[in-house]
Structure 1
């Protein structure tokens, strides 16, 4: 039995800011953003979207009625939760009209949350092969205007369906994890924007990757030569490149070239979307599958990292039935329909926030199926426009 990712889908709002425009507005050389951090565009999330609506917009693309009836759990990885108590997953269950006889759990460990869900889903389906699990990574990355982290913002959601006989990526059993109490990135309950020690965060990220990759090789006996591609959590794409370069000397010249080519394929979409937090690794995986040239059976190594800190290295094999054409078409449509906003417009959208009292939001500018309509009696009001 092969358990793994059977379906995968992505959603982000259709508004974005061009980082060349932002660099000029901030009186910075654009290459600092385009080359220095490896980003060219950044999703701008309107107030009518949150972690729940973005997850619903992503998940609705992949669930059939058969999938719905087979679901055993919804595991929702996010660090952008909408309630200190109530799970984002139960909101999602309601919006998608999923069966009531399923577990709905929200998972949090910075950007690692979706990977925790994926690993739990794999174990659950292995024990219950007739069941499927919906795994979500949905977040809004916020650091503030005119801050060092401004160009590593973004937002969006990735939804994955985990099942037996997976048609995209069969997850292998061996994985290695590492955790450590580190203050490289955090967001106190009273803050809307994250706090980050950028230099420390980069160093810990690379240290965690090299540590778990080394432990993985000791555990399995495999080496870098056994991988056709390595995919990374990409809060900004240059970070993944730095991590890859840390282990490239372990490979021969031809393998180094192929791994670098695969990495370039894996960051095409992340460069244009920005930081997804929990979804970043899986957007990178989608980018690799759509833009790379990997044959069936290719072994892909995946590095997941969540500040604070948790890291995991695991692997999967590309299944023979996977066809990248649908993935390519979805992203071509997404990028083709996006709307570029000016820097002043981006700043206005960024500064919009839900008040602490009842409000009705104007959703006319939001083209998504699922939107946040407002707040009534301290309760978020969501809308599925297909039922309006």
Structure 2
């Protein structure tokens, strides 16, 4: 029996900032952002979009295509939680009208949270092959206006359905994990934005990739040449590019070309959306599936990294007919529906979203009909509505 991803849904808010315009406003050469960082656009969440609403919207992309009555488990990985105690996944479960018997919880370990949920969900389905699980990664990446990390912000969510005999990607049981208590990135309780040592974080990311990739190869006897694609957590696309260069070092020309082409395909969506923390690796996967040239049984390696720090490498195999379970036209339309905002508008919306809305004041969304949004708090209880 094989277990893995049967459906995948994606959501990003309806506004974006152009990186050329942001660079000019900050007095930087645009190529520093476009080439040096590898970002073209950055999705922006206003006050009405948070981790919960984005997670709902991502899951609704496939909810009507599957039997939701088989779902026993709902896990949400996020570092943008909306409550210090209550799981964000409970709000999502309510909106999706899932059974009260569904087990649900939230996982936090920086950008590793969704991968932790994936491992738990796959193990659960291996033990309960007639059941399925939903795993969501949903985050708002915020470092602050004018900071060194500003260009690596973003907003979005990816949701996957895990089941036996999946339609998209089977996930192997082999994996390599590595963790260490370090301070490359963190967000104190009293800060609405993250703190990061960018250079150090890049060094740790690359070190963790080398360690886990080498260990996985040692465990499985897989060679770099066995992979049709290697994909990465992408806080910004140049980070993954650097890891990929390490992976293809000393490989022959054909292997280098194949893995560089697949990496380019995996970075298409991240280049336009920006950093979405826990979901970034899985946005890379979706981008590869919809923009790459994969065949049945191709082996795809996945590197997950969460600052602080936790890294893991694992692999999956592409399922024959996987394209029947995707909708690239709708994903493209989701990106194209976004409206560009000026840098001044972006700064206003960014600052507004950092503030807690006044209690008992309803928020109004400018999203399209059908999307869910955060409608404010009523008697200090968060309210979510569908447009």
- Taking structure 1 as the reference length, the TM-score comes to 0.97
Q: CA deviation at 1:66?
A: 5.2
1:355 aligns with 2:362: no
8 Å CA contact 1:68, 1:99 repeated in 2: no
Q: CA RMSD in A?
A: 1.3
8 Å CA contact 1:48, 1:366 repeated in 2: no
Partner of 1:382: 384
Three-state SS of the structure 2 residue aligned to 1:323 is helix
Partner of 2:96: 96
8 Å CA contact 2:46, 2:350 repeated in 1: yes
Q: Which runs of 5+ in 1 are unaligned?
A: none
Q: Which moved more, 1:330-339 or 1:226-235?
A: 330-339
Partner of 2:371: 369
Q: 1:154 to 1:26 in 2, by over 3 A?
A: same
Partner of 1:25: 25
Partner of 1:286: 286
- In the TM superposition, 1:217-232 aligns within 5 A as 217-232=217-232
Partner of 2:158: 158
8 Å CA contact 1:169, 1:317 repeated in 2: yes
Partner of 1:265: 265
Three-state SS of the structure 2 residue aligned to 1:352 is helix
Q: CA deviation at 1:169?
A: 0.3
Q: CA deviation at 1:324?
A: 6.5
For 1:18 and 1:327, the matched residues in 2 are separated by: 26
- In the TM superposition, 1:1-388 aligns within 5 A as 1-64=1-64, 67-323=67-323, 326-353=326-353, 354-355=355-356, 357-367=358-368, 369-385=371-387
8 Å CA contact 2:3, 2:122 repeated in 1: yes
For 1:297 and 1:188, the matched residues in 2 are separated by: 44
For 2:48 and 2:365, the matched residues in 1 are separated by: 10
For 2:260 and 2:204, the matched residues in 1 are separated by: 22
For 2:190 and 2:357, the matched residues in 1 are separated by: 13
Q: CA deviation at 1:194?
A: 0.1
For 2:77 and 2:169, the matched residues in 1 are separated by: 20
1:211-266 Cα distance to aligned partner (Å, 9 max, x none): 00000111011110110100100000000000111121242111011100000000
For 1:277 and 1:204, the matched residues in 2 are separated by: 16
Q: CA deviation at 1:107?
A: 0.4
Three-state SS of the structure 1 residue aligned to 2:106 is strand
8 Å CA contact 1:75, 1:135 repeated in 2: yes
Q: CA deviation at 1:337?
A: 1.2
Q: How many residue pairs align between the two structures?
A: 385
Q: CA deviation at 1:45?
A: 0.4
Q: CA deviation at 1:360?
A: 2.1
Three-state SS of the structure 2 residue aligned to 1:117 is helix
4+ runs deviating over 6 angstroms: none
8 Å CA contact 2:357, 2:376 repeated in 1: no
- Taking structure 2 as the reference length, the TM-score comes to 0.97
8 Å CA contact 1:357, 1:378 repeated in 2: no
Three-state SS of the structure 2 residue aligned to 1:126 is helix
8 Å CA contact 2:363, 2:374 repeated in 1: no
8 Å CA contact 1:67, 1:132 repeated in 2: no
For 1:242 and 1:364, the matched residues in 2 are separated by: 39
1:28-56 Cα distance to aligned partner (Å, 9 max, x none): 10000000000000001010011000000
Q: CA deviation at 1:336?
A: 2.1
For 2:126 and 2:268, the matched residues in 1 are separated by: 33
Q: 1:66 to 1:332 in 2, by over 3 A?
A: closer
Q: Which moved more, 1:318-327 or 1:301-310?
A: 318-327
Q: 1:197 to 1:112 in 2, by over 3 A?
A: same
Q: CA deviation at 1:67?
A: 2.6
Q: Which moved more, 1:80-89 or 1:56-65?
A: 56-65
Q: 1:49 to 1:364 in 2, by over 3 A?
A: closer
For 2:331 and 2:95, the matched residues in 1 are separated by: 24
Q: CA deviation at 1:335?
A: 2.2
